[in-house]
Structure 1
C-alpha cells in the first residue's frame, strides 16, 4: 500500500479585520438600511429591537416534515424522533437508530440535493395477485435529477421480511416512483459514517462563510492530500477553521481520505470527481 502524497501548501496572508473599537472610515446614513441594528449617530446606543426580532436575525424555526405519516411518539422497543436538515431547515423524522443515522448521512452526501422522509405509500401487487402498500423510509434526490428510494432494515431482518422482493416488484410496477430502489442496513450505515455525518451536521448548523472563505483560500493551493492541522496552521481560530473544513467536506469541495472518524489529524484533498450514489 502506497502512502498518500502530501501537499505543499501556500498560506495566503489573511485579511486584516478592524476591531469593533475602531471608528468607521465613513459615516453611514441612517436612512440607507446598511445596518439597521447599528448605533444611531450621536446616540451611542443600539436600535431598540424586540427579543423576537433579534432572534429572527440569527435563527429561523425549521419547517415541518412532509412525511406521509409520522411515527408514533411512543412505541415499545423502537427509537423515534427527528432532526433538522441543515441545508433546507426542514425536519426529518425517523423511527429507528439506523434511520436516524441515515438521516444524518444523506444530507452530507455531495450528490444529494434533497431528502424526503416517509414517502408513499406506493401500491404493488405480489405474485399471488394481492395488493400491498409500502412506505419508503427515505427518497434521496440527486444533483443529476435522479432519485433513490431507500428502505432501511437491520441486516438480519432483510431476508425474512422479503424486502428485496418487495422492492423488485415496486421497481417493475411503479418505475416512475424513483430511479433506484435500494435496501440500506448497518453494513452501509456504519458507526464511523454516522459519527462523521453528525460532526458535519453540527458544522453546517453553525456555518460561517467568512471562516469558509479563509480556509478555501488555502485549500485552493493544495496538490494532493494534506492533514487538517497543516491546512489550519496559520488560522486565527483553529476551532472555527476546523468547522469550516467540515463544511467544505459536506459541500463536496474537499474529500476526507483517511479511514475512521474525522479528526484534526485526518487527511483531506480537493474532491476529484462526483461521488457515486450511495
Structure 2
C-alpha cells in the first residue's frame, strides 16, 4: 500500500507512505498538537554497528515538534522489529547521531497504534478542515468555565449546536485545549477535561 497524505499548517505538502502501518503512524503524529512537520525517507544515516562495521540506515519519518526538537521514527511490524533487534540498532544510532539531524529515535509498530487511537487521529484531521469560528467560540466559552471532567455529549448539549458542536469538541481535543480522560475512541460518552487542570499532561 503506497500513497500520499497532506501535512498540517498553512503551507500543506504531500508526505509519501509505503505501507498501511506507515500511513497510520503519519496520521497519529499529524493529529498531535505538538507536531509541526513530518518528513519521509530521511537518510541514509551513517553509523558504526556493534561489530565495528560502517553501516547506513534510512528512517521512515522525521517528526518536528513545536519546541524545535526532531525525532527519527522507524515504522516496522512488531514481530519483524523484535526479530532484527531494531531497538538495539536504534540505540546504537542514537548514541552516534549528529544532533543537527535528530534529537532522539523512536520505534513505532501496530502495538503503538491501536484502532481507537488511529480513528481519533483521523477524526481530528478531518474536523480541522472545518471553518466554524462561531462554533469554536461558543465551545471555548463553555470549556473556560469547566472545573473538572465532563462528557463530549454534555458539551454538545450545553452548546445547543448539535453535530457541529461534536466536531468542534474534537477540534478542541486536537489542539490540546481538552484532553481525553480514560479510554480513547471519541464519541458522545467520552470523558474530557481542560488540559489546564492540575496534574494533566
TM > 0.5 fold call: yes
Which residue of the partner structure matches residue 114 of structure 2? 190
The answer to whether the 8 A contact 2:8-2:37 is kept is no
Which residue of the partner structure matches residue 84 of structure 1? 6
**1:239-278 matched pairs, under 5 angstroms:** 239-272=163-196, 275=201
Pair 128,234 (structure 1): closer, same or farther in 2 beyond 3 Å: closer
Of 88-97 and 100-109, deviating more is 88-97
Which residue of the partner structure matches residue 160 of structure 1? 83
- Residue segments in structure 2 that go unaligned for 5+ positions in a row: none
Pair 170,274 (structure 1): closer, same or farther in 2 beyond 3 Å: farther
After superposition, the C-alpha distances for 1:115-173 in whole angstroms (9 at most, x for unaligned) are 22222221112233433221111222222222221101111111222322321221122
- Residue segments in structure 1 that go unaligned for 5+ positions in a row: 1-78
Determine which structure has the larger helix proportion and give its number. 2
The answer to whether the 8 A contact 2:17-2:23 is kept is yes
1:269 aligned counterpart, secondary structure: strand
Shift in Å at residue 193 of structure 1? Answer: 0.5
Larger-gyration structure (1/2): 1
- 1:219 lines up with 2:115 in the alignment: no
- 1:199 lines up with 2:123 in the alignment: yes
CA RMSD of aligned residues (A): 1.9
Shift in Å at residue 274 of structure 1? Answer: 7.4
Could you tell me how far apart the structure 2 residues matched to 1:171 and 1:214 are? 46
Which residue of the partner structure matches residue 48 of structure 1? none
Determine which structure has the larger strand proportion and give its number. 2
Which residue of the partner structure matches residue 97 of structure 2? 174
Pair 221,274 (structure 1): closer, same or farther in 2 beyond 3 Å: closer
Shift in Å at residue 260 of structure 1? Answer: 3.3
**1:1-278 matched pairs, under 5 angstroms:** 79-87=1-9, 88-176=11-99, 177-272=101-196, 275=201
Equivalenced residues, count: 197
1:264 aligned counterpart, secondary structure: coil
